[in-house]
Amino acid sequence: MSASVQTAVVGVTGYAGAELARLLLHHPRLKLAPPVFAGRVDAKDEARGGIPLTEIHPQLGGSSFGDLRMDNFSWELLAERGVEVLFLATPHEQSRSWVPEALTRGLRVIDLSGAWRLEQTANRAVYGFDDEGTKAAMATQAQAVYGMPELHRAQIAGARLVANPGCYATSVILALKPLVGAGLVDLGRGIVADSKSGVSGAGKAPTAKTHFMYAADNLSAYGVFSHRHTGELLEQIGLEGSQIVFTPHLLPIPRGILSTIYVHFNSAQTAESILAVYRAFFAGSPMVRLYEKVLPQIQYSVRTGYADIGFQVSPDGRRAVIVSCLDNLLKGASSQAVQNLNVMQGWGEAEGLE
């Protein structure tokens, strides 16, 4: 365990990058070691010493942060600043290119992209990586640990490369893994995961389907049978593709995810028996909240680092509807990344997050 660590963030200009910066700047362990921020800085801004952080995100202004700037990225910059842990809130292709170099230089990496999340070649095919199957890529992939502390806490603690989970995937995996792992779910009957996310889940760059005129007053399904997070569900829950239907939808709200998941049981269950499974699985997991009396809602979890899980069992005890909510920019991205940092450093898992 170390008292502090020097971090760096690449990709601070995005939505998740902004939340990551906010969390790291207020983290109690990092008060004397604010992150190094790096990215693309043109010659004009480089001449004035980088771009002030408050110009990128005015909401991060404060007396103690006013002098922080985003510098032009270089490996030399990270070495000069003594960076030990590198956060990449970058596109998949950029992370795919930079992570091997970072590891070679002795950095520990927490990657918020999907570049290194998937172990199986067939599941990675959806990304179409140019380096797929190369010796270097396979060597890097072998070092990656899927960054969900509730599942892989011990491996994350010693990892050099943590692949932060996808937002949809986090909501579904946390809801299903305890029940599937306990052998309660009738996989032959299939699972349906109906998930809905706010527009920020699509990233900051506007598209024809995320601008206001399309998303407002609308609800649309997309990525049916082809969404990139499907492979994460299969690998982390331990499912075959034929055993789950995962359908994401775009909600006309800024942020938040709600997944409604339908399962059949192998034998009749009670609310008490299901709750006992969840309690046992999430014992020692401070960022998961179990709802016993009411079902979770996006408004309860948005702008928090929690994953909220609730359920109702059918009168015959053979089926259940599970509702899982989280903030896609926090537990679905940046706060889970900080949670992983806490585990890697041997700190309290919820430090800086509650």
Would you please indicate which residues are annotated as catalytic (active-site) residues?
167
CA angle 170, 137, 329 (to 5 degrees): 25
Q: Which two tokens stand for residue 209?
A: 């389907």
* Of the candidates 6, 23, 16, the residue with the CA atom closest to the CA atom of residue 65: 23
Please name the residue that has the structure tokens 């709802």.
291
3-state secondary structure of 140: helix
CA angle 79, 149, 34 (to 5 degrees): 35
C-alpha to C-alpha distances, 183 to 50, 97, 190, 238, 246, nearest whole angstrom: 54, 39, 14, 11, 20
Task: Note the helical H segments in 129-211.
Answer: 135-143, 149-157, 167-181
3-state secondary structure of 139: helix
Q: Classify the C-alpha dihedral 121-123-124-128 as positive or negative.
A: positive
Please name the residue that has the structure tokens 């898992």.
349
Whether residue 137 contacts residue 124, with contact meaning beta carbons closer than 8 Å, is answered with: no
Contacts of 18 (CB under 8 A, 6+ apart): 12, 56, 57, 59, 60
Contacts of 327 (CB under 8 A, 6+ apart): 255, 256, 257, 301, 302, 303, 304, 305, 335
- The DSSP call for residue 332 is I
Phi/psi-derived region of residue 269, left when phi > 0, alpha when psi is between -120 and 50, beta in every other case: beta
* Of the candidates 1, 35, 23, the residue with the CA atom closest to the CA atom of residue 336: 23
Whether residue 308 contacts residue 287, with contact meaning beta carbons closer than 8 Å, is answered with: no
